[in-house]
């Protein structure tokens, strides 16, 4: 990160201290959560979330408060809310006209001139001379609106003046899923992210694989009972490159192992090239894990070799699940459970993320071949999506306690029963 970003962080922490607007380890949430006696001597901020394709957090915004549901996304920056008028299909919206604390940001504001991932450069103004915001995603969806501010309430904490995008135009690739959420909570390291605006030095979450629940902790917390974490450094790059996201949670991928065999990969393909393409990002807003084409092909081929006689390939070269996953298999519907499979290990700098068992395959909803279900490997080809990066999605983060330690610039994780973790932290079972 460059000097100006560090200066911004210091300014944010100073304002937090003076105005008592940011999280600290001594604050507790006023959401339907509680801390069990003896677990944390200094209760931290805990939020429950749910997930199917996305992880969602419930909070309130505006004056008087409006309940909103936001997608937890460590892969993006600017928080945004859907400010469209209510329709029959989209009822989860934020109404800025009903909030007395809502404020639109004009183009002449210094914050609008700031160069970030989600604010265009040069500045684009709408017809009312308001700061324009445009975000787009790899699936082809996009949103457009105005930069605004309002009071965000997370439990007992009020955070006036939180910047966000108030989105009213755009297209979506999944309108049914969007109807369940009001917006997106950008959690990367950018200057406009929720993490930076709240002055967080650490946050963590745990996603249950048994149901749709999980726990999110904002702040330090004390969760030593989860076991010893493995840590990998977050990669820093201050020089802007066209294909590199400097504010993502980037780690160093050093290799991939299938069973006990390490894939024969050129080391150069696992590191960013001269344009920045090839970084490895940890992204809670993406469901599956995606690998650059040559690496995906090597993994696919070795997985086929090691599962020969165990899994029956689909045999349809034209079928590609979600546009990027073409390693698919037939599993008898009456089989009950998947056969034993070789684990796939992502070998990171100082840590190893092991993906095994049912997390390796995903059943394609509604697709049946004869009397067989269709399952696809949960690793996809980044090239088919037009993503010039490795992306570790939330499916492979299930039942791992994931800790984002910004103060020490590292990512930690340890295998945990996340349903039990939620109960230990006072969540309803």
Catalytic residue among 73, 118, 245, 419: 73
Strands 389-392 and 279-282 turn out to be: parallel
C-alpha closest to that of 426 among 7, 22, 4, 44:
44
State yes or no: is 283 an active-site residue: yes
Do the Cβ atoms of 163 and 111 come closer than 8 Å?
yes
State yes or no: is 73 an active-site residue: yes
Strands 202-207 and 183-186 turn out to be: unpaired
C-alpha closest to that of 411 among 216, 203, 221, 245:
203
Q: How far is CA 184 from CA 68, 165, 188, in A?
A: 10, 9, 12
For 414-425, give the secondary structure using H, E and C. EECCHHHHHHHC
Q: DSSP class of residue 133?
A: E
Do the Cβ atoms of 181 and 69 come closer than 8 Å?
yes
b/e burial code for range 350-379 (CB count within 10 A of at least 16 → b)? ebebebeeebbbbebeeeebeebbbbbbbb
C-alpha closest to that of 185 among 325, 288, 70, 19:
70
What is the helix (H) or strand (E) element at residue 233, kind and residue range? strand 230-233
Do the Cβ atoms of 184 and 79 come closer than 8 Å?
yes
406-411 long-range contacts, Cβ below 8 Å, gap at least 24?
A: 406/189, 406/195, 406/200, 406/201, 406/202, 407/201, 407/202, 409/233, 409/234, 409/236, 410/231, 410/232, 410/233, 410/234, 411/231, 411/232, 411/233, 411/234, 411/249, 411/251, 411/282
Residue 362 to residue 411: CA distance in whole angstroms: 26
Catalytic residue among 150, 283, 326, 419: 283
The dihedral sign for the CA sequence 382, 384, 385, 386: positive
What is the helix (H) or strand (E) element at residue 383, kind and residue range? helix 382-385
C-alpha closest to that of 335 among 305, 358, 354:
358
Do the Cβ atoms of 49 and 73 come closer than 8 Å?
no
Residue 25 to residue 219: CA distance in whole angstroms: 6
Joined together, the tokens standing for residue 350 give 């100082």
Q: Which residues are catalytic?
A: 73, 283
């Amino acid at each position: 990160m460059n000097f100006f970003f560090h200066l911004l962080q210091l300014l944010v922490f100073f304002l937090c201290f003076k105005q008592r607007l940011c999280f600290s380890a001594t604050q507790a949430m006023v959401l339907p959560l509680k801390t069990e006696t003896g677990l944390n001597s200094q209760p931290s901020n805990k939020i429950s979330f749910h997930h199917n394709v996305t992880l969602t957090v419930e909070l309130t915004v505006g004056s008087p408060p409006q309940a909103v549901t936001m997608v937890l996304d460590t892969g993006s920056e600017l928080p945004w809310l859907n400010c469209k008028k209510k329709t029959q299909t989209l009822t989860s919206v934020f109404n800025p006209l009903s909030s007395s604390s809502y404020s639109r940001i004009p183009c002449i504001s210094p914050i609008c001139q700031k160069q970030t991932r989600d604010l265009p450069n040069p500045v684009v103004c709408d017809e009312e001379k308001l700061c324009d915001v445009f975000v787009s995603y790899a699936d082809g969806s996009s949103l457009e609106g105005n930069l605004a501010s309002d009071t965000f309430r997370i439990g007992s904490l009020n955070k006036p003046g939180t910047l966000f995008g108030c989105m009213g135009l755009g297209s979506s690739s999944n309108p049914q899923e969007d109807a369940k959420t009001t917006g997106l909570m950008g959690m990367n390291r950018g200057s406009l992210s929720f993490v930076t605006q709240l002055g967080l030095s650490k946050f963590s979450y745990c996603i249950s694989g048994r149901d749709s629940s999980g726990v999110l902790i904002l702040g330090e917390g004390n969760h030593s009972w989860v076991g010893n974490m493995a840590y990998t450094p977050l990669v820093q790059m201050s020089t802007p490159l066209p294909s590199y996201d400097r504010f993502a949670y980037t780690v160093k991928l050093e290799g991939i192992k299938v069973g006990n065999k390490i894939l024969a990969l050129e080391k150069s393909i696992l590191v960013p090239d001269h344009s920045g393409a090839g970084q490895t990002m940890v992204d809670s807003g993406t469901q599956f894990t995606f690998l650059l084409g040559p690496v995906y092909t090597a993994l696919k081929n070795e997985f086929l070799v090691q599962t020969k006689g165990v899994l029956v390939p689909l045999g349809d070269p034209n079928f590609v699940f979600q546009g990027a996953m073409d390693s698919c298999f037939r599993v008898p519907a009456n089989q009950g459970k998947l056969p034993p499979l070789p684990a796939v290990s992502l070998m990171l700098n100082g840590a190893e993320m092991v993906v095994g068992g049912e997390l390796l395959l995903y059943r394609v909803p509604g697709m049946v071949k004869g009397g067989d279900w269709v399952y696809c490997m949960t690793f996809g080809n980044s090239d088919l999506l037009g993503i010039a990066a490795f992306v570790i999605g939330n499916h492979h983060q299930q039942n791992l306690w994931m800790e984002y330690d910004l103060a020490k610039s590292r990512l930690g994780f340890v295998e945990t029963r996340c349903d039990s973790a939620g109960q230990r932290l006072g969540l309803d079972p």
